[in-house]
Amino acid sequence: MPGHFEALQRTIDTLRSPGGCPWDLKQDLVSASRHLFDEAGELVEAALDDDLPGLREELGDLLFMVSFVCRILAERDQVTMEDVARHGNEKLIRRHPHVFGNLEARDTAESQERWNAIKAEEKRARGIDPDAESVLKDLPAGAAPLHQAYRYQDDAAGVGFDWPDLAGVWAKLHEEMDELREAAAGGDPAAVEHEVGDLLFAAVNLARRYGVQPDMALRRANRRFRDRFHLVERDFRERGRELPAATIDEMEASWQQAKRRLAAD
């Protein structure tokens, strides 16, 4: 494994050196980081498919992008993958005294509490007052909006800003639906957009309270829709029919057939 990793590093060095690939040479930290984000998404898709060969391939792509970003950073700050690995390993050991030290953690909540306390100490050592920071953790602008909503709500709930029970969460969801209906009836596009956002935010909160990751739930819903719609398209092609010429009832019947077929697989 070390030999292959070193070979990957040499390949990246060649790609970034004079005479290397024009595409690789023009990448900067921002663009390369964005591609890294895309590769992480493809890894998630492979995991959802339980595609083991695909997972291996996507992990390779992700490792390449991590190494590639590090190579670009090294051109400016003399940072190496060895530095990155050392820093990451030291942080993990430092934040797990209940594993690598003489402390104990009775459950997940206690281990997370200890992690957060150590993280706060690290910030104080760097001259940052964690008590003056917002409890809402900073997220990159490129983070998926559903994930942003989930994280903000979870952070706020950590200091008690949360509905005491599920009844309040459900009531808020219905309240936002009613407000969206009113905005739609008023015909104001800006108001409709505002209320759609509030409705989605409330739905994310409901997902959070049920222990569901909303971005993963939506990914799976998107995949179900894609797979079913592909079957609908194939059904009409096999019948020599064009979808635009079909009635909504015909498409719905084909859709229900696709649902049954996929559920039986």
Average pLDDT, the chain: 91
User: Is residue 139 within 8 Å of 151, Cβ to Cβ?
Assistant: yes
Same domain, 201 and 247: no
Indicate whether 68 pLDDT > 90. Answer: yes
* Total structural domains within the chain: 4
142, 151, 144: which is closest to 29 by C-alpha?
A: 142
Same domain, 28 and 110: no
pLDDT tens sequence across 91-114: 999 999 989 988 887 888 888 888
CA separation for the pair 18, 195 (Å, rounded) = 52
Alpha helices in the chain (DSSP H): 2-16, 22-26, 29-48, 52-77, 81-94, 97-100, 108-125, 145-157, 166-186, 189-209, 214-238, 248-264
Per the domain annotation, does 190 fall within a domain? yes
Per the domain annotation, does 247 fall within a domain? yes
The residue that leads in pLDDT, 139 or 6, is 6
Q: How many CB atoms lie within 10 A of CB 131?
A: 8
User: What is the number of alpha carbons within 13 Å of residue 256 lying toward its C-beta?
Assistant: 5
Q: At 135, is the pLDDT very low, low, confident or very high (cuts 50, 70, 90)? A: confident
Per the domain annotation, does 138 fall within a domain? no
Lowest mean pLDDT among 20-24, 43-47, 191-195, 197-201: 43-47
220, 222, 215, 210: which is closest to 173 by C-alpha?
A: 210
Token pair listed for 52:
């083991």
Per the domain annotation, does 140 fall within a domain? no
Same domain, 41 and 79: yes
Q: Is the pTM of this model over 0.85?
A: no
Task: Return the sign of the alpha-carbon dihedral for residues 225, 223, 199, 184.
Answer: negative
Structural domain that includes position 124: 95-132
Per the domain annotation, does 137 fall within a domain? no
